[in-house]
Structure formats: C-alpha cells, structure tokens
Structure 1
C-alpha cells in the first residue's frame, strides 16, 4: 500500500461556513487582500463576507479585476496591489481563475520575480503568503490543489505552476455560494470535476520508491487518492443532472461541491493525464471552456486507455450505478458509455468538431499536447504523439471504435 495526501491545513465544508471567514482570517493577521472578479465584488453576499472580516478587526483591501484564464496583466496588477497593502493573507473568492490568481499573487508577493520564473514543478523556493480559498463553483478544485493555471501571451498554450507550497492554507467550501451558478456553468464545472476524479483514479501506478512524493508533485495512482476519486465519481454523477433541473436544491449543490472538493484532493496528489494534456491545444484553438474540452475528450481517452484500466473502469461504472456482470471488459466499456451518456445529457458536445476544432489542426494539437509532460507521464498507457493524433481524430469524427485495441 502506498498513499500521499497533501491538503490545506484546514478544510471547512458546509452550508453557512463562509461566515467563519472573519475569524479564520484574523488568525493570520489584521490585513487581508481579497482577490475576486468584478461581478462577484458587486454581489451582496460578497459584501457580507467583507463586513464579517471588518467586524473581526481586519483591514480589507479588494482586488476585483480577476480575468478569465488569469492573464499576465491581471497577475501583475494583483501583485502591485499586494505591494501597496502588505497583506498578512490573501482571500481568494470565486471560480478557478480567482483562486489561481490568489495563489500566484501570494507566491510573487512572497518570493518576487515574474510568474514565468515558476512555470513547471517544484520551482517555488518556500512557503508563500497564506491563502484562504472560497470557491463559488463546484469544479476546478483549486481550493485544495498545488496548481495554478495561467495565460501567457508568449506561450501558445496555458501554462502551470505546480508546487505543494501553492496549496491554500485554508479552504472554506460553502455550497450556498454555488446556488446562483447558472445552469451552463454548473454543467461545465461539474463535468470538469468528474474528469478530475476519473483521471486521478486511473493514472499510472508508479513503482514504489522512497521519496516518490519528494520527486514528483503528482505521484500517480495511490490508495488515498483512489478513495477520494471514487467517492467523487459517485457524488458528481448522482447529483449533476438533477442539479441542472433544480439549482436551488441545496442538497444537490452540496453533493456537487463535495464531489468537486474530493476530486480536487484526488488529483492534487495523483495527478491528471491525457485528456487534460489534449485540452490545452483544443482550448487554445477553439476558445472553449476547459471543462467542456476535457469532458468532450474523456470518453475517447478512456477508450484508448481501456486495456490498462478494466478493473478501474468497472469500479467507476459501479459508482455511477452500472450493474456488474461476469464480463469485466464489457463492464468497463459500459462505464465509458455511462460517462459519455452523462456528459451528453448535461450538454457537453460529443465531438471536437462541435467545439470548432478542425481536423487539419490534429498534428499541431497532438504535438502541443505532448509538451504537457507532467500529464503525459501520468497516463496509464504510454502515449506518443501518434497516439495523441489518433485520439483527436476519433474525437473529431465521433468514432470511439477507432481506438479499440
């Protein structure tokens, strides 16, 4: 047995738990920089959070210019704000972009330099300013992960900073913050979280060597992340379709947020794989949301990985309510069918053509996907550029059977 579990020092989950923010932030000092977006900053719920911090003796500064995909200019502006206010902690409130920006702002305020200095793994020299993360969507899991994904105009694809020092100090996950999340965003973020769970449950199992977690940010399949991932599959798949029909149902919202949290903790340790590597060039070319791309690709990547993942796919199917039979491979294929069917039911396109991806871009996209080395190395089946191209071709044509081995 082998397991790795890196996580915030504290995770607080439950309805109404957001109103502990002032007390939590006061433990880190008397000055806070809040990172959020312009829409959320105008919300009465946000005002209540700021008032709670103020009531606890905290001087609050707000940076409300977080932009989607975290461009360099947004990071620079947040770091400049931190330089002016010298916060004792950063409170990141919002979706994945807000949380990622808060993490990078904490890094740069602490250690200086540019975000480009930290691209890759294990590039952060030490602890960063404490981050308190409050997600308002049930999707990215950034509140518990060691990753921040950014945009850089000098790079063709999004880039990542991956280091355990980036894990927030505290995550406060309040499902009530997601109740006003629109149907389309609920579907996309829920699908994203489900892909996190599936890929972390089916990553490569590496040889057990002393110090593996010190050598890799993402250690691969292990029994601690497995339990988190499988429960995340059960929660998300069971709640997502119904939550789209009744977004005010707090029990469904709670299950989705719990599933996203557990999936985040799973991939924070095990890692993701080929579907996420392929999404980077797809997203760059089609300008479609990350969750849409990974979900559209997931059934095809699962089909490619089938021969190495029959037991795992079978367990995923059981977690989604599929009936087990005496034929393990048939059960594994049924699990892929169930994942594809769920994504179709919640409005995820089932081919890359529907995203606007052109087949003539396959070779370029396959080559670019291979540059996401940490994701490629995590795939349970060794994968080369030709394999990436085959997956993309099948996904363009809606032809999973072309990937059958």
Structure 2
C-alpha cells in the first residue's frame, strides 16, 4: 500500500451487517429475524448475563416462535481458546441453524467464532490472521449489552491463546453479522466498572480510527487486508461518535440510569465499530494487549491509561486531525494555533477518562518497569495494529511511551 498517511485517493470503504436495529426496545425484533433463519438457535453469553431478566425474556420470545434455543453461558473475559473448544465439542453435531451473541465484546466474539467453527470445523487456530475463513459461517445475530466494544458490527474476533500467551485475531469479512440489535435499554444494568471500561474502549476506538494512517490501498490490497486505513466514510462515523461521547460518557458516569446518555454512548460505540472495521485500531491497542496479559486489568482501562501518552507520541504526525477533534469537542480556540487546538483535544480526552474513573498512568495498572522491554517486543508482533499508527512504532519508541506513561509524565514531548 502507498506509504503516504494522507488519503490521496479519496477512498471511502465500510464493511457492515446486512441489517442494524438501533434504539430502545429493538431487542424485540430478534425473534422475527431468528424465525426466518432456522429452527435451532445457539445463544452465546456469559454467566452474569444469563441470569438476567432481559436475557430470559429474549430466549422466551424466540422460543415462542417455535425455535429451539440452546445456551452457552460459559464465555469468559478475553475469550480463552478453551471456551471455543468447549462450545465446539458440545454443539458440533447439534444441527445449529443460527448463532446469537448476547453480552459484551467477548460474548459477541464467542458468537462469531462459534458461527465459524460450527460451519467449517477445524481448530480456531486454523483461522488466526486475515482472510483465512473459507466462506460464510452460520447466520450470526449480535446483541450488545455494553456501550463500548463495537463488536456487534466488526468482522474480527479476538481469542486469548494460553499456549501462546497472547491474544490473536481472527479477521474476515465472513465474520460479519447478519443483523445487529443495538438496544440501549440492555445497558442500564451494566455494572459501573464495566460501563467505564467499555466507554473508554469506545473513545479509544474513535481516537485511533480518526488519527490512523490512510493507506491508499489498491484493489488487491482491499481483497487481502481487513484494515486498509482511515478513509472518508470511517471519518464520518468518527466525527459523529466523538461528538456524542464528548457529553454522553460524563452523563453516564454521573447517572447510570440516564437512558438518553446510555443511548448516545451506545450509538457512539456503534460508530466506532463501523470505523475500526476498515480503519483498524493502532498503537494503544497493540501496547495494551501484553500489558493486560501481565496485569490482568480490563482492556478498556488499559487503552484508556495509554491514550494520553500515545496521543502525545502521535501528535506531530496528526496535528490537523487532533485540532479537528478539539473543535468537535468544543474546546479548541479557533484563533489559536493548530498545535494549541490539538493539545486542547488531548486534554479533553483526559478529562473524559478521569470522569469515568479510568486510571491515567500505567503505574496504577500495576505495570512493572522491568517488563517494558517484554511489552514492547510483544506489541511489535501485533503488526496488523502497529501498521495503522500514524507515526512509525519501534520497540524503542514503545519503551519511551511506557516510561512517560508509568511516570505520569503528560508534558508535551517528542519520542
């Protein structure tokens, strides 16, 4: 792909579900769609969600249409490969017609890979990487219950492979949902910590997608790669999502029962998912993965803690884009320089994260400085993410970011 980080070819590219239902009460559309797709539905969720009245209602209304419902409620955070193997062993011969994911990002990723392995067999390891899925899986419906990951509309699933000690992505357009049901009422019972972590995740998705590289792919690149760079269509979603999160996250933190704020946050997370589906995430996500493995801290808190420092590192390559974010947030003085407007955007991101209770330094996550080299080496292995970063990332640059982040050094610096 062309080396320029600017979109010189004017590309616009999206990948998306066939149908999206957004708004309070839209979960009641699910039975009608399921009925049209088959007679046996497998619902993937976790133990917390499976015990809720909302989940019981969804299952009951599907069964009222004469559809058999099986439930896999053993999904764990960060989706271990062992979960995928257990589901496959249990349902490989069960004649499942449609898979439904209900829950947070791991539950939705579980549903994606379930639809894949039940259709094509094999070990999930056979599909690690880009475009290795041979064809469509079972029809997939996604029902998010958090406002953050955007996994309801992305065509990637992330699996933690314990033998490799790392998270690995399965990326293919064939993982795209048939339909997504984005109902903010389902987030009202989301615990405060999870609300904060997923909100920070959505914010990080939007910041990274909007400041990513524009890779100017040709036709072959688009066929071979999922993440082909920031483009005109992803930018539209980023602008909308950032405008929404600028007010909604602080409102949710102040009043978790505020349905309007929940709806705005969920719509922003959806926008972020639409953007990262072709733009991809970047440096913060690459660095967070090994930090999360070492510290066992929530993904959203990890990328949130990294954002102040990765933004400062990327600022020289994206001054005008960060300045636009400052104007979207309403914090940039239009009479000041672009650099000052850009810095105002970064400070505003920190204010939003602080309102959510996200730690703003890596020491608070429990990261030990003696692990900086390991984190940098592991992050550099995530080439599908590091390739999106607007400034080239090296192990030395990552160590510099980690040093600033661990020391809570938010001065303006050039790594």
Q: What TM-score does the superposition give when structure 1 sets the normalisation length?
A: 0.98
Whether 2:99 is the aligned partner of 1:77: answer no
Give the match for residue 23 of structure 1: 32
Give the match for residue 170 of structure 1: 179
Give the match for residue 138 of structure 2: 129
Whether 2:155 is the aligned partner of 1:146: answer yes
- 1:69 deviates by 1.3
Give the match for residue 396 of structure 1: 406
2:77 corresponds, among 68, 71, 81, to: 68
Paired residues of 2:116 and 2:175 also in contact (CA < 8 A) = yes
Give the match for residue 340 of structure 1: 350
Give the match for residue 11 of structure 2: 2
What secondary structure sits across from 1:378 in the alignment?
Answer: coil
1:38 corresponds, among 42, 47, 58, to: 47
CA–CA distance in 2 between the matches of 1:78 and 1:242? 38
1:130-180 alpha-carbon deviations (Å, 9 max, x no partner):
110000001111110011111111112211111111111110000000001
Worse-superposed segment, 218-227 or 69-78: 69-78
Paired residues of 1:106 and 1:129 also in contact (CA < 8 A) = yes
1:383 corresponds, among 390, 393, 397, to: 393
Whether 2:307 is the aligned partner of 1:302: answer no
What secondary structure sits across from 1:150 in the alignment?
Answer: strand
What RMSD over aligned residues (CA atoms) do the two structures have, in Å?
1.2
Worse-superposed segment, 81-90 or 31-40: 81-90
CA–CA distance in 2 between the matches of 1:342 and 1:51? 39
Paired residues of 2:323 and 2:332 also in contact (CA < 8 A) = no
Whether 2:265 is the aligned partner of 1:256: answer yes
Give the match for residue 373 of structure 1: 383
CA–CA distance in 2 between the matches of 1:356 and 1:180? 29
- 1:212 deviates by 3.2
Whether 2:237 is the aligned partner of 1:207: answer no
- 1:402 deviates by 6.5
Give the match for residue 226 of structure 1: 235
What secondary structure sits across from 1:25 in the alignment?
Answer: helix
Give the match for residue 3 of structure 2: none
Q: What TM-score does the superposition give when structure 2 sets the normalisation length?
A: 0.95
Give the match for residue 6 of structure 2: none
- 1:208 deviates by 4.3
Structure 1 residues not aligned, in runs of 5+: none
Give the match for residue 287 of structure 1: 296
Give the match for residue 318 of structure 1: 327
1:101-123 alpha-carbon deviations (Å, 9 max, x no partner):
11111111111111111111111
1:359 corresponds, among 331, 346, 369, to: 369
- 1:85 deviates by 2.2
Paired residues of 1:7 and 1:265 also in contact (CA < 8 A) = yes
2:111 corresponds, among 79, 94, 102, to: 102
1:165-200 alpha-carbon deviations (Å, 9 max, x no partner):
111111000000000112221111001001001100
After superposing on structure 2, the runs of 4+ consecutive aligned residues of structure 1 that deviate more than 6 Å are: none
CA–CA distance in 2 between the matches of 1:316 and 1:81? 48
How many residues of Structure 1 are paired with residues of Structure 2 in the alignment? Answer: 405
CA–CA distance in 1 between the matches of 2:67 and 2:180? 19
Worse-superposed segment, 254-263 or 318-327: 318-327
